[in-house]
Amino acid sequence: MRIISGEAKGVKLKAPKGIKTRPTSDKVKESVFNIIAPYVENSNILDLFSGTGNLGIEAVSRGAAHAYLVEKNRKQYNIIKENILKTKLNDKIEVIIEDVYIALEKFGKSNHKFDIIFMDPPYLKNYIIPCLGKIAEINLLDADGIIIVEHDIKDIIPEVINNLVRFKEKKYGSTMISFYRKEE
């Protein structure tokens, strides 16, 4: 796993041993970033269930203005911090060790808006619908923003959740990427 493009191109990222964390593969990550390329420059990023920090760090390397990476696991939090130091992007990335739902509430209370929100929750654990619902309820997505959800193809998620509508899906083996934006 490495940073594919931008300021930190080629930097290898650390991932925890074992199967508990499932980092987005370079192939899937490159495809996602090809799709969202017009949105990345100077964007404000939220990376939920951050794991290794792979997606948020890649976005900042490609020109995002700032990224918040949310991860509740202490071991993974420490790995994210190491990865950020390796890329030398620490002035543009903030790591928050917190439960995702608590972090979302805090962002809502401080009136944060995000251009891009990445969600890569544990597969088949029913985090997606409540999390998308909470993002819509507290209005965290900028008017022209997008949400990218990585999930197992067996995860059934609706086309519309509150005011969020799925506008694209891409399948990569057993992984599905669903793209959401605000309903027009």
Contact by Cβ (8 Å): 180, 114:
no
Distance separating alpha carbons of residues 42 and 39, to the nearest angstrom: 8
pLDDT of residue 19: 47
Helix runs in 43-155, H state only: 54-61, 74-87, 100-109, 128-137
Residues in contact with 58: Cβ distance below 8 Å, sequence separation at least 6, in sequence order = 3, 4, 5, 6, 29, 33
Q: Inform me whether the pLDDT recorded for 69 exceeds 60.
A: yes
Other Cβ atoms closer than 10 A to 115: 22
Q: What are the pLDDT digits (tens) for 95-127?
A: 999 999 999 999 999 999 999 999 999 888 999
pLDDT of amino acid 49? 96
Q: What is the mean pLDDT of the chain?
A: 92
- The per-residue pLDDT for 117 is 98
Global pTM value: 0.93
CA angle 141, 146, 150 (to 5 degrees): 115
Question: For residue 176, what are the contacts with CB-CB under 8 A and spacing of at least 6?
Answer: 150, 151, 152, 153, 155, 169, 170
* In contact, 95 and 69? CB cutoff 8 Å: yes
Could you tell me the residue ranges of all domains in the chain?
Answer: 27-182
CATH top class, domain 27-182: alpha beta
What band does 181 get if pLDDT is binned at 50, 70 and 90? very high
Q: Residue 98, CB half-sphere, CA atoms under 13 Å: how many?
A: 16
